[in-house]
Amino acid sequence: MPRIALGIQYDGTPFQGWQSQVHGLTVQDTLQTALSQFATLPLFVQCAGRTDAGVHALSQVVHVDVPFERDEQSWIRGTNAFLPETIAVQWAKTVPDDFHARFDAFKRTYHYVIYNHPTRSPIWANRAGWFHRQLNAEKMNAAAQALIGEHDFSAFRASQCQAKSPIKTMHSIKVQRMGDLVVVSVTANAFLHHMVRNIVGSLIYVGMGKQEVDWLGFLLTQNNRNLSAPTFSASGLYLAAIHYDERFGLPLPNDDASALIGL
């Protein structure tokens, strides 16, 4: 059976996260229904990384085994014809039988968008987390650098996290201001449940002056979730890029945070 990889983009606002549930109000269920309608038989996908309710994706990657050959463009056009406006297939690529969307991904990039303005914005509602006090993005960026490298990220791990180990490798983290937006970009080999949102919450404490620049480094050494800031809103979180070995021939991911400004 041919294996197809698909690049998926979605607005997570109306969905109860990625993973299939009985009620069917998830991205996975909606995508599988559309694929099955196009193929006229049941199809099931495996994703690179599950996202929570309200979280968006600029470039989620899935794979699906199909019982027949079709042009790659047909999978894009045909599946999109059955999808709501909140989900779209961006690309399709035939991959080797041993390709796995999750296990072959060697790093992932997320962006978190904060609308930093005294008054909330209807334009950025459900698309950015809102914080009303002025944030110092330079101090937030300086604080974030303590997280780079291989660490135990228990201080930023949700209690319901099912990961076997809290040890992850942070490749890069950058905080930058773009007008009224403060964007946190994070690349790691993998992420714990709520890890990015918990990091953002703690960075906001630094940005507003409630904690010093060295606070995130301190939290990292304590391995205690109770010491760090509350989990920040899901609305501003975007799964931005999944990185694979070039031998699979997948489109190169664009993890430039400036692409978010055009949303």
Catalytic choice (11, 29, 52, 65): 52
Sign (positive or negative) of CA dihedral 200, 205, 208, 214: negative
Contact call for residues 5 and 97 (beta carbons, < 8 A): no
At residue 188, what are phi and psi to the nearest 5 degrees?
A: -145, 165
Residue with tokens 């992932």: 108
**CA 166 and chain centroid, separation:** 18
CB atoms within 10 A of CB 19: 13
Alpha helices in 122-261 (DSSP H): 137-144, 195-207, 215-222
- Catalytic residue flag (residue 97): no
Catalytic residues: 52
